[in-house]
Amino acid sequence: MISGGTAGLAGAFEVTGPIGQLLPSISPGYGFTAIIVAFVGRLHPVGTVFGGIVMSLFYIGGEMAQSRLGLPSALGLVFQGMLLFFLLASDTLIDNRLRWRAKAA
């Protein structure tokens, strides 16, 4: 309940602060980023703090690569998607590990 209230309060500040009105294009994709942060943090409250730090490095690195190297802005999103994909793939492979059995004689 506390986290939901905090998220609602942050959304209210986002609407009333810089923009001053509710627009259809107000969300810059925080929900999708939050999903990646939660999985990187292993769905643990302390882990999500560190996952948030990792994702902020992706955002900052993507913006720096865009401004300094002239790379497309979508490259940061590609790396975020790859991070989520490889994280979920490694979890799946660890949980469903193949085991070799010796043939019965």
Residue 55's nearest CA partner among 70, 73, 36, 74 is: 36
pTM, entire model: 0.66
pLDDT of residue 68: 92
Residue 62, classified by CB atoms within 10 Å of its CB into exposed (0-12), middle (13-18) or buried (19+), is buried
pLDDT tens-digit series, residues 38-85? 889 988 989 999 999 999 888 888 889 889 999 898 888 888 889 989
**By the 8 A CB rule, do 62 and 76 touch?**
yes
Whole-number Å distance between alpha carbons of 105 and 102: 9
